[in-house]
Amino acid sequence: MIYLVRHGQTHFNAERRQQGHMDSPLTALGRAQAAAAGRLLRDLIGKPDGWRLIASPLGRAQDTAGVIGQALGLPIETDPRVIEVSFGEWDGRLRDELAAEHPETFGRGDWQFAAPGGESFESVEARVSAWLAGLPPEPERKVIVVSHGGSGRVVRGAYLGLSRAETWAQDVPQDAVFRLASGAVERIDCEVAAQT
pLDDT tens digit sequence for 19-57: 999 999 999 999 999 999 999 999 999 999 999 999 999
Sign of CA dihedral 9, 11, 14, 20: negative
- Domain residues for the domain of 66 are 2-189
How many domains does the chain contain in total? 1
Q: Which residue has the higher pLDDT, 107 or 66?
A: 66
Within-domain flag for 132: yes
What's 89's domain CATH number?
3.40.50.1240
- Choose, from 11, 21, 84, 125, the residue flagged as catalytic: 84
Helix H or strand E segment including 2: strand 2-6
The whole-number pLDDT of residue 194 equals 52
**188 neighbors 44 (Cβ within 8 angstroms):** yes
Q: Which amino acid is at 183?
A: G
* 148 given a catalytic annotation: no
Whether 154 maps to a domain, the answer reads yes
The answer as to whether 194 is a domain residue is no
Note whether residue 196 is domain-resident.
no
Give the pLDDT score at 192.
Answer: 74
Q: Report the amino acid identity of residue 185.
A: V
Residue 161: phi, psi to the nearest 5?
70, 35
195, part of any domain: no
Q: Distance (Å, rounded) from C-alpha 41 to C-alpha 35?
A: 10
Residue 196 has pLDDT above 70, yes or no: no
Q: What is the mean pLDDT of the chain?
A: 95
Task: Judge whether 10 lies within some domain.
Answer: yes
**Nearest-angstrom CA–CA distance, 42 and 53:** 12
Q: What is the rounded average pLDDT of the residues 173-177?
A: 96
pTM over 0.85: yes
Check pLDDT > 80 for residue 149.
Answer: yes
Residue 74 is assigned to a structural domain of this protein = yes
pLDDT higher than 90, residue 121: yes
Domain assignment present for residue 65? The answer is: yes
Known active-site residue 7: yes
